[in-house]
Each structure stands twice: as structure tokens, then as C-alpha cells.
Amino acid sequence: MRTHRCGDLRPEHIGTTVSLCGWVARRREHGEHLAFVDLRDHSGITQCVVNDDVDVRSEYVVRITGVVRARPEGTVNPGLPTGEVEVGECVVEVLRRADPPPFPIDARADAVDENIRLQYRYLDLRRERMQRNLRVRAAVNSAVRAAMERQAFVEVETPMLVPSTPEGAREFLVPSRKEPGSFYALPQSPQLFKQLLMVAGVDRYYQMARCLRDEDLRADRQYEFMQLDMEMSFVGQDDVLHAVSEAVLAAAEAATGERPPPIERMTWRESMERFGVDKPDLRFGLELVELTEVFASTGFKAFAGADSIKAINVPGRAAEFGRNQLDKLTDRAKQIGAKGLVWLKVTGEAGEAGEAGDVGFDSPVAKFISDDEAAAIRERTGAVPGDLVLIVADDWHTTCEVLGTLRNDLGRPPVHEGPYRYVWIVEFPLFVGVDAATGRPKPGHHPFTSPHPDDVDRIESDPMTVRSIAYDLVLNGWELGSGSIRIHEPELQRRVFTALGISEQDAARKFGFFLNPFEYGAPPHGGFAFGLDRLVAILAGEENIREVIAFPKTQSGADPMTNAPVPGDPKQLAELGLRVLPPSS
């Protein structure tokens, strides 16, 4: 039907007769004998000149045949890739009339209520931005596959109907028709299967895996999402990191045209100390400053005896923060778990080089801070008049977390601004926090994660200090994915289970179908999984993964286009042996 696409035509095509198919983006009529029709398809827009009366409206589907010619002097449109040429002597065939769309099919729809965009997603996707996002996604998928194939990974598909597993995210359940009252679960990840593929001798497995988790949705979380899932045998951490890096860097190059530099590494401990989070955004400063020693013998009650005292210095922004905003910062700090937040506005005149000058703090607690302490704060944070210093004193983890959150709130640029800063976070703790019910440590990654060999001795004596061979990949403050080297020896697995408070009977009951196969010869192995939606969103310059998913759900898990979810049909329910309870009051 067509000889070219709407974004193809250039001066080199002048003189050729072409046929274009697409949607009418705009129509500019100048009386009966001259009209401009901008024709759009996924590749772009071309201006077509019609010298007859023509009845086309916005979004009509048409085929236009004409001759490519240079635009007359002074009418070139530099804003359009095809702007040096136009198609003249046009014959227009209307293939399908169209109702006026509910919103303009161009960048103006960026401002339209997202619910309406989702209700008419097929129109939203017709727009340049969304077409670009779909194609960035396709390019990333393709590059990732190619990188995995190059490295001798074998694509294996794992089932979507799996047994429910006790740990981890809430699962979607699928009722069994043949066994009423029994259910499949949809996989929150192919974790168990991929490790069994290692037992099976597959050696290197990968899959573009759809994962489903029935947890509340966020800007970076949907019920269903895609992971590059992979697992390797007879490897250590460096091998896994290298293989994943190849895929991620190839994907980045495919999306942006530029291959990023090798991905740097940082320990979890350093990330927490410097950035207060385990997914640091390295694009900006505002790093945490250590002050615990400064207040070792302080008279200030809020700081005395605190496990950890840290600060961030927000340069030059003291004046922005009135009492109201400072109260909001304090509320935010409390929301994260802090007992309070100390703020100091640095006042006065900085001294000449080497001189202290006449510098003070404007703060409700200024009178509790000694001159020596004040000088140490200024020296360590580098604070000068006009700066806002925020201090938290609490246990180490809370102090880091609160300031890390404030750091992000106060300094984090939009995700598409500035450079891409990839970083591996390594040496995560094996255990994180304590289970309120059992009083036992909780696994940081999952219960099959290998402890760091240097720390194995402390599993029993000092479990909370044991590091693991688990690692995360982080890009511009977003967690892209995580992985670990797995335990393949039963003795070590037993010790970790014991630390977790899982008895042998529990282990057999909960994980038996998974662990028994290891008895037939599990190779040392490890793997990784990273979220493709998140990677694509950042590479496409989007703040929200819904923008890179063709048909996403809203925050409440609904699809305004299909109206899913819908009430169960009584016949279907009966066949499945299900009865719906009335909503609890």
C-alpha cells in the first residue's frame, strides 16, 4: 500500500512518486484549492499538499499518493525532520474515517489526566513519546537477549502456574478446576526453577521472565513486570557481575547510542555511611557527615549516648526553610523512624582565610551545643553562613536511613537529568532486622544466599555482622535488580536455617521440593535478576514505569481500558468450587 513511511522523505527523494499511509495529524485549509495535510505514522510526519477540496479530519486513516518536491523558498520547516520537502499533487484515499479523539495525539496529551490516557491507551500509544518508549523497550530487550546469547546463556521458559511458596511477596492465586479448593500461584519470580536448572546441568540459564506480585503499586512497581532472570554454574560473584554488566551496558548502548563506562562497585556499608540508603543516587552530593565522636561527651541530652550521629549540609538553602518547612522535614524524619530532627541555620559572617569569623547557629537547640562542638560541626560539614545543617542521632541504621531519605528529598534531580550513574552494591548483610514473631534474624536477600566466606565463623556467635555474597545493581537511585551466590552445601544451609530459626522439619516442609534435588548434586552457582521496566524507564527518560508499559494498571490495580478486574461470573465460580463472601463491614 505504501512506498515509504511518513518520516522517511528527504531532499534525495525529490521527483519520485510516493504513497504514504497514516493518520491525519493536522489539516490546514486555505480555501477550496489549497490544503495542507500533515500525515503521521510511527516514523514521523510529512506535509502533503492537496489542491482539491478534501474531506479529511483529525485522525482519519488515509493513503496519500503524490510527488515529492522541495518546499518553496521560505516555507522550509526546520522543526520537522522531513521539513525540507513536501508531497505535492496529492490524491487522498480515506481508508477509515475517525471520530475526533478525546485528547490531542501529540505532546499536549502529556498534560492530560493519566486515567483518561489509560482509558484510551491505544490513542495515547499513537503519540511520538509513547512510540519512542515502546521502541526503546524493544531495543533493550533485543540487546539484552543478544548479550546473553553471546555469553552462552540458554533461554529456558519456566511455568506460570506454580505452587505457592511461603516466603516473600504476596502471590496471585489461580484456582484449580480439577481440584476445587486447591490453587496455583503465579510466580513472583522463577527463583526456584532457575536453581533447579543449575542442578539439571544447564550451566547458564536466562529468561525474559514475567513476574507477578500482589503488592501495592508505585511509580516503579506494577503487579506484573519483566525481569532479565539469569543463573550460572561454577562461578563466583565477579563472573555474575561481569555477565550482567555486559547485558546492561549493551542495553544502555542500544537505547542511548552510548556505552556507559564500566560499572563501579561500592560496599553496602559504604553506601549506607555516605548516602544513607542501599540504592544511592550518585549524581549529586549532600553526603552524610559523621559526627558521633564530636558529641561523645556532650551535655545535649538528645545527642548524649546516641549510637550514631550524622548530618547533612544543605548548602545555601537556610533562607528557603521557614518554620513550616522545617516542621515538615521533621515530620518526614519521624515518618522514617527518627525520634527527631535537629536543624541548624548557619548565620553570621565567614572569617578571613584561617579565621573563625563570627559564625553562629540559628536553631532552637543552639544553646545546648558547645563552642567546640559547633566548630567541629562547621569543620566536618564544611558549613558556611546561609547553609542548613540537619542532624540525626539514633541507632546507626535509623540515622543513616533518615538522613538518606532527607538527602533524596532535598537534592535528588529528576531521573532523566544528568549522567547515568550505575553502581554495584556488594556485601549486603546476610540478615536484616529481627522477626517480631520469632525473635530471629530475617534473611536480607533470601534464605539460600551464601554468607561471605570471611564471616562464616560468626553465623552463630554474631549473626547480624555476617556479610553475604549478595549484590544489587543501582542506577540513579533506582534498584534495578539483585542477586547472590547461592548456598550449595547442605551443612552451610543447615547453619543458616538454624540462625533463621527454621528447624529441619520446617525446612523440609517449606523448601523440601526445592532442596531435595540438591542432594543429587548441586553445582556451586549464583545468579541475578533485574527489572527491565525500570531500566527502560530510566533510559527513556521517564519517571514512571507505566510510561514504558503498553497497557499498565493504575495504582489501585485496575485497567481503565478493559475495566479489569471484573466480578467473577457465577458459572465460572461454581465450576471452580468458589463462593464470594460479602464485603466485611
Cα–Cα distance, 82 to 39 (Å, whole number): 11
Per CB under 7 A, contacts with RNA among 526-555 are 544, 546, 554-555
Q: What angle do CA 268, 269, 275 make, to 5 degrees?
A: 85
Q: Give the three-class secondary structure for 289.
A: strand
Residue 397, C-alpha cell as written in the block: 541504621
Q: Name the one range near RNA by CB under 7 A: 243-251, 307-315, 346-354, 436-444.
A: 436-444
Smallest distance, RNA to C-beta of residue 218, A: 4
Cα–Cα distance, 87 to 404 (Å, whole number): 57
| 506 in contact with RNA (CB under 7 A) | no
- With cell 525500570, the residue in question is 534
Number of residues that bind RNA (CB under 7 A): 71
Q: Name the one range near RNA by CB under 7 A: 78-86, 129-137, 294-302, 342-350.
A: 78-86
Contact residue for RNA among 76, 202, 212, 573 (CB under 7 A): 76
Smallest distance, RNA to C-beta of residue 537, A: 11
User: What is the amino acid identity at position 70?
Assistant: A
Per-residue string for binding with RNA, 327-366, x by CB under 7 A? --------xx------------------------------
Q: Name the one range near RNA by CB under 7 A: 73-81, 231-239, 339-347, 520-528.
A: 73-81
Contact residue for RNA among 447, 481, 483, 526 (CB under 7 A): 447
Per CB under 7 A, contacts with RNA among 186-205 are 188-189, 191
| 15 in contact with RNA (CB under 7 A) | no
| 71 in contact with RNA (CB under 7 A) | yes
Per CB under 7 A, contacts with RNA among 114-173 are 114-116, 165, 167-170
Residue 555, C-alpha cell as written in the block: 495504582
Q: Name the one range near RNA by CB under 7 A: 217-225, 236-244, 415-423, 495-503.
A: 217-225
Torsion of CA 53, 56, 61, 66, to 10 degrees: 30
Contact residue for RNA among 5, 63, 104, 506 (CB under 7 A): 104
Q: Name the one range near RNA by CB under 7 A: 12-20, 237-245, 353-361, 441-449.
A: 441-449
Contact residue for RNA among 4, 8, 18, 38 (CB under 7 A): 38
- With cell 543447615, the residue in question is 494
Output the CA–CA distances (angstroms, integers) from residue 180 to 162, 185, 263, 295, 577, in the order listed. Answer: 16, 14, 50, 64, 5
Contact residue for RNA among 97, 135, 150, 218 (CB under 7 A): 218
**DSSP line for 104-127:** -SSGGGGGS-HHHHHHTHHHHTTS
Contact residue for RNA among 269, 380, 442, 495 (CB under 7 A): 442
Smallest distance, RNA to C-beta of residue 446, A: 4
Return the number of the residue (80 or 174) whose C-beta is nearest RNA.
80
| 257 in contact with RNA (CB under 7 A) | no
| 564 in contact with RNA (CB under 7 A) | no
Contact residue for RNA among 276, 441, 443, 526 (CB under 7 A): 443
Smallest distance, RNA to C-beta of residue 213, A: 5
Instruction: Taking the CA atoms of 100, 46, 6 and 142 in sequence, report the sign of the dihedral they define.
Output: negative
Cα–Cα distance, 338 to 328 (Å, whole number): 13
| 108 in contact with RNA (CB under 7 A) | yes
CA atoms within 13 A on the CB side of 258: 6
CB of 451 within 8 A of CB of 467?
A: yes
Q: Name the one range near RNA by CB under 7 A: 95-103, 136-144, 487-495, 568-576.
A: 95-103
Return the number of the residue (160 or 219) whose C-beta is nearest RNA.
219
Among candidate residues 249, 228, 196, the one with its CA nearest the CA of residue 481: 228
Return the number of the residue (73 or 258) whose C-beta is nearest RNA.
73
Within a 10 A sphere around the Cβ of 257, how many other Cβ atoms?
7
**DSSP line for 318-373:** GGG--HHHHHHHHHHHHHHT-S--EEEEEEEEEPSTT--EEEEEESTTGGGS-HHH
Cα–Cα distance, 344 to 360 (Å, whole number): 9
| 46 in contact with RNA (CB under 7 A) | no
Return the number of the residue (30 or 323) whose C-beta is nearest RNA.
30
Per CB under 7 A, contacts with RNA among 220-239 are 220-221
Smallest distance, RNA to C-beta of residue 579, A: 21
Cα–Cα distance, 399 to 314 (Å, whole number): 17
| 216 in contact with RNA (CB under 7 A) | yes
Contact residue for RNA among 20, 44, 47, 477 (CB under 7 A): 47
The residues pairing with 27 across neighbouring beta strands, listed in sequence order, are: 37
Q: Give the three-class secondary structure for 156.
A: coil
φ and ψ at residue 305, rounded to 5 degrees: 75, 5
**DSSP line for 375-423:** HHHHHHH---TT-EEEEEEESHHHHHHHHHHHHHHHHPPPTTSS---EE
Smallest distance, RNA to C-beta of residue 181, A: 25
Return the number of the residue (387 or 527) whose C-beta is nearest RNA.
527
| 84 in contact with RNA (CB under 7 A) | no
What does DSSP assign to residue 451? B
| 208 in contact with RNA (CB under 7 A) | no
Cα–Cα distance, 257 to 116 (Å, whole number): 33
Contact residue for RNA among 58, 131, 245, 370 (CB under 7 A): 58
Contact residue for RNA among 3, 16, 75, 465 (CB under 7 A): 75
Contact residue for RNA among 1, 12, 15, 111 (CB under 7 A): 111
Helix residue ranges, H only, 206-354: 237-256, 268-275, 323-336
Return the number of the residue (100 or 567) whose C-beta is nearest RNA.
100
Cα–Cα distance, 450 to 430 (Å, whole number): 8
Contact residue for RNA among 23, 60, 103, 193 (CB under 7 A): 103
Q: Name the one range near RNA by CB under 7 A: 10-18, 51-59, 460-468, 564-572.
A: 51-59
